[in-house]
Amino acid sequence: MIQDISPSRLDNSFRTQQPQPESIAMCFREGKLLAAVTDGELRFPRYHELAAHSTEPVYLFSVDDESFFLTDPAAEPEGYQYYTVRELRDQCAGKYLYAAFTAYHLHQWYADNRFCGVCRGEMQHDDRERALVCRDCGHKIYPRINPAVIVGVISKGRILLTRYRRGYAHNALVAGFTEIGETLEECAAREVMEETGLRVRNIRYYKSQPWGMAQDILTGFFCETDGSDAITMDDSELRAARWCRPDEIELQPQQHSLTNEMMRLFRDTNGHLPPEYAPVSTEIPPQKTRIYFTRHGETTMNAADHISGITDCELTENGIAQAEQLAAVCAEHREIGLIVCSPLKRARMTAEIIAEKLHIPVVTDERLREWDYGSYEDQPRGTTPDFQAAKREFGVRMKDGGESLLQLAHRVYSCIDDIRKQYAGMTVLCVCHGGVCRVAETYFRDMTTEAFSQFFMGNCELREYEV
């Protein structure tokens, strides 16, 4: 999404500071922003490139170590021209695009509030916080942000896609601004009803997105139809509204919007959204579910032969190479649609390498973390002779606050139960740990106590189970 500019960071905290020669100048004219675009690369003039300024510069925010100022140059420097933020959105990406949207939001607010709504006096910048204060009566106002909703409506394994009658030409979801006196969830239900005539339920929050271009904060929700899924489209707002299966979804050309991310999540999970957003009603016909299990790549603690349960550690270079190798193997099993991953770092590192190669999403599940070995954690394996014996006990908790094998089995079994239910018909890869893989094996196959304690899973070894 547009705000995902990590490792860069937009710092919006208020400061009173003067521009330096290298500071970035955000210059607007009739709603357009002065910039230069070369092969999708966005640039703004530096302060020293501007000859003179007709207004006092206003500090806006910084991105990493670059400060952005709102200013009004007497003349445009060579090589720059004015673009609408929409034009920039269609051509560019990255931190400068996000800066352009945010600067536009503030510019628009300043431009719309030159005079006091109470006494018609002139507004001026407050010197302690981002606000405008009336010179005459002291009335103070803060930047206005309009809440709006984006709604992904699901029915029978399909999602409701729309196209707006005006403005944006590509696929979208139901959307609209929140009105006075309603909650975001009520707004979501009302907008769906107004635009498509559908009644919805189980409205669940997904993510939000600051969308400076329209002066709003978008809040994304997934929900499902309540009753009929027959669409009655509002012709004045929409020119299309239809149900789409995951493979029918045509995404937006850019990766900027929350809407696009929600559509992509539905497409990439083959309609099986993560449990926290998934529809409660399961009207999709059952298909074969396949679950692969793997153990993370070699870690620093593996290499040192230390016991690593819930203790976090990094992959070694060898471990990274193992994960890359596994990613290549998984790429041949093209049907893997989703990774469910332990929250521990070594598993997440492994999962991310595979996910990047396969272009599939990663969902973290707490229940896949390794067995909590209590005070055996981070001990050298050689100096803890009773550790092997402790692992053979079913109902005894690992000493000093650890888990018993039955507790471990309880959470791993419940996780597999949920994967089977939520991702029915899909092929899922679980990236976790040796101890978890061993328990998973017993979920699918009978094992004697002896076989169980002998079970060993190599780093990035792959096991397949069909449900």
Is the previous residue joined to 7 through a cis bond, with omega within 30 degrees of 0?
A: yes
SS3 131: coil
In the list 25, 58, 63, 116, the residue contacting Zn ion (rule: CB under 5 A) is 116
Stretch that binds Zn ion, among 93-101, 132-140, 197-205, 287-295 (CB under 5 A): 132-140
Minimal distance, residue 136 CB to Zn ion, in Å: 5
- The CA distance from 104 to 57, in Å, is 15
Q: Is residue 126 close enough to count as binding Zn ion by CB under 5 A?
A: no
- The CA distance from 290 to 411, in Å, is 20
31 C-beta neighbours (distance < 10 Å), count = 12
- The CA distance from 249 to 247, in Å, is 6
Minimal distance, residue 113 CB to Zn ion, in Å: 11
Q: Could you tell me how many helices (H) and strands (E) the chain has, helices first?
A: 11, 22
What residues numbered 48-77 form the site for Zn ion, per CB under 5 A?
none
What residues numbered 394-453 form the site for Zn ion, per CB under 5 A?
none
In the list 32, 125, 139, 420, the residue contacting Zn ion (rule: CB under 5 A) is 139
What residues numbered 144-163 form the site for Zn ion, per CB under 5 A?
none
Q: Is residue 132 close enough to count as binding Zn ion by CB under 5 A?
A: no
Chain-centroid distance of CA 297 in Å reads: 25
Total number of residues binding Zn ion (CB under 5 A)? 8
Q: Is residue 329 close enough to count as binding Zn ion by CB under 5 A?
A: no
Q: Which residues contact 167 (CB under 8 A, 6 or more apart)?
A: none
Give the strands of the sheet with 10-11, arranged side by side: 10-11, 58-63, 66-70, 24-26
Residue with smaller CB distance to Zn ion, 121 or 374: 121
Minimal distance, residue 57 CB to Zn ion, in Å: 25
Residue with smaller CB distance to Zn ion, 134 or 436: 134
Residue with smaller CB distance to Zn ion, 137 or 406: 137
Q: Is residue 119 close enough to count as binding Zn ion by CB under 5 A?
A: yes
Chain-centroid distance of CA 39 in Å reads: 27
Q: Which two tokens stand for residue 24?
A: 């970035």
SS3 367: helix
Long-range contact set of residues 72-75: C-beta below 8 Å, sequence gap at least 24: 72/27, 73/25, 73/27, 73/34, 73/45, 74/50, 75/51
Minimal distance, residue 140 CB to Zn ion, in Å: 9
Q: Is residue 135 close enough to count as binding Zn ion by CB under 5 A?
A: no
Q: Is residue 118 close enough to count as binding Zn ion by CB under 5 A?
A: yes
In the list 77, 121, 147, 374, the residue contacting Zn ion (rule: CB under 5 A) is 121
Minimal distance, residue 145 CB to Zn ion, in Å: 22
Q: Is residue 134 close enough to count as binding Zn ion by CB under 5 A?
A: yes
In the list 51, 111, 137, 304, the residue contacting Zn ion (rule: CB under 5 A) is 137
Q: Point out which residues bind Zn ion (CB under 5 A).
A: 116, 118-119, 121, 134, 136-137, 139
